Amino acid sequence: MCGFAGLYKKIELTQADKTAVMNMSQSIRHRGPDDCKTYFQKNYAFAFRRLSIIDLEAGAQPFSAFDGKYVGIFNGEIYNYLELREELSKKGYTFSTRSEIETILTLYHDEGPEFIKKLRGMFAIVICDNEKNSMFFGRDPFGIKPFYYRIGKEGISFSSEFKAFMFDPEMKEYAIDESALQSFFTFQYVTEPDTVSPDIKILPAGHYAVIDENLSLSPVEYYEARFTPQKGISFDEKEKKLRDAVMKSVEYHMLSDVPLGSFLSSGIDSAVITAVAAKLCPGIKAFTVAFGVKEYSEIENASGISSHLDIEHIKLVAGLEDFLENYEKVIYHLDSPMADPSTVAIYLICKEAARHVKVVLSGEGSDELFGGYKMYKDSVPTSYLCSLPGFLKSAVSGIGKILPKGTPGKNTLMRDVNPIEGRFVGNAFVFTEEQKKAFYKKFDPNVHFTDRTKPIYDRVQDMDVLTKMQYCDLNTWLKSDILVKGDRLSMGNSLEVRVPYLDKEVFEAAKVLTSSDKLSHGTTKYILRHAFRDLLNEETVMRPKLGYPVPVRLWLKNELYDWARNIITSPYADEFIDKKVVLQMLEDHRAGVRDNYKPLWNIMTFITWYKLYVGEIDNTRARVLAGEL
């Protein structure tokens, strides 16, 4: 796991350009504390930060191959690189290292840009083709590894992290994309390929691009994770294929020359990964985090799993002080605003794990692939409501409206008469457009959160409701929230997180599953639970997910009330946020009038982000260069 930054220009690099690239490298030093290299040529520069995992001595980057014809940098892991290298060796190619980057450059030489289709892993790749005077950018199929870029007047800058652009030679400050920000207040993140800044874009997952000296960049899709449910395959056959794929993927993901561990919550996703890993490596360590509030803790159940698997279990019980001490660091490391309360817990467990290992396995992706979210389970049985004749839909919705608040099924009747495309935008939903009018000063009535999901739903119009929801989550929630926080918060602690479920072969097994394969026997992810029931006890197999719970809802009423009020009343983002409205949200939450913890966290996250990346950007730059951030 590593990080990179660079610059590719139409004209010759200046000394200011070189200094800028070195400063960009400094901003991502946490991604690679083991080695730092810069590489300057006439019109381009690479900076690379290395966290040594494989070929500790000879895998340095940037890497030059074929007598300088190609120079490459790469962040991530290619799990099938040994097989690919063997194929290339049979063609007569020789290798001087065991590193993945040498295999990547040789494969590029042999096949051109389409070589990327052969890679199995998580990656962001840059290759300078000195013969063609062009650059190749590539990103893994699921978007596990980040890739940001900015096209300027004289060149294109790129990096593993958004924060590096605060040193971009053409950029004085981060502009705010007001429509992207408006959507952030619904999603709790900005959906790729956009960022909160209109100048900076994300290379989409499953895409590559070739950039010529005119700086034209048109991403090419080489992989799409598309669900195609198949009823003609037996459950037993699907189950076997799934189990084999997951077990093989975990084995691949354990390839490492350094110590390795596994995150362990109380749910099935991490339990399966940890159980398979424990069979392959009995000495593996498992890591669990919780805050000191019992109903928000997964430690007791996770301890039961670790005892069953007979593995070492490292437990971190964090408190309010840990939360406050690390909150601003978390917002900084997340790059773009992301209002996911679990982020502080994830940062803390990554920090603890990094004291013991360099690599951890994690269960991200399982919910999206196998139908794990409660929303899926709730929506599928009533999906027929939206196909009722108009007069019946009005009647059903009317019944929902007159039912007393808190009546079971009230919200379902009101919600599910509407098409899924207009109400489901991914697993997180904070503010409606109507609610944003009250506090967002830049509100644009011509912008709607469904603008971002319509192109996604257009691709799966003929699919069932569950498949549509999974596909939406795969392309919003997973790529722009789950994987972003996993990468930034682990790398913020110089820790590599690997996600075995997000593997091409695992997806091949998952994409053919029907709704009944996933939602059955009163539970979610049924086929995954059934496939690995022999490795875990029944209680673990059937336990619902929690997902790094943090007691922010409780704390905002008492312990965090003054802290929250100080953030809201700080002199930042006043041109965007009506602070009086937000303060009333806080008072209503404290008084128990309504549960506003997610809306408050959403707005407070943006205000804190604005402070770090806009309001006090000069101070942030100074802290980065001083090694304080």
**Residues involved in catalysis:** 2
Do residues 103 and 95 touch, judged by C-beta distance below 8 A?
Answer: yes
Instruction: Look at strands 35-40 and 63-65 and give their pairing.
Output: unpaired
Which alpha helices (DSSP H) does 552-616 contain, by range? Answer: 552-555, 561-569, 579-591, 597-610
- Spatial distance between the Cα atoms of 222 and 220, rounded to a whole number of angstroms: 6
Q: Which of 303, 268, 267 is nearest to 286 (CA)?
A: 303
Residue 315, token pair as written in the block: 């437990």
Biggest alpha carbon–alpha carbon distance for the chain: 76
Phi and psi at 423, nearest 5°, equal: -130, -15
Determine the Cα–Cα distance for residues 444 and 416; give it in Å rounded to an integer. 27
3-state secondary structure 278-292: HHHCCCCEEEEEEEC
**Rounded-to-10 torsion of CA 613, 616, 620, 621:** 90
**Pick from 221, 168, 112, 124: nearest CA to 455:** 221
Beta bridge partners of 140: none
Q: CB neighbours of 436 closer than 8 A, spacing ≥ 6?
A: 182, 185, 186, 443
The region that residue 426 occupies, defined by phi over 0 for left and psi between -120 and 50 for alpha, beta otherwise, is left
Whether the CB-CB separation of 299 and 345 falls below 8 Å is answered with: no
Report whether the peptide linkage leading into residue 193 is cis, meaning its omega lies within 30 degrees of zero: yes
Separation of alpha carbons 321 and 90, rounded Å: 58
Residues 6+ apart with CB under 8 A from 417: 385, 386, 388, 393, 396, 397
Contact 209, 470 (CB under 8 A): no
Strand partners, 260: 359
Q: Which helix (H) or strand (E) holds 185?
A: helix 178-187
* Count of residues making up the chain: 629
Q: Name the β-bridge partners of 207.
A: 221
Q: Are strands 207-211 and 121-129 parallel, antiparallel or unpaired?
A: unpaired
Place of tokens 């930054």: 5
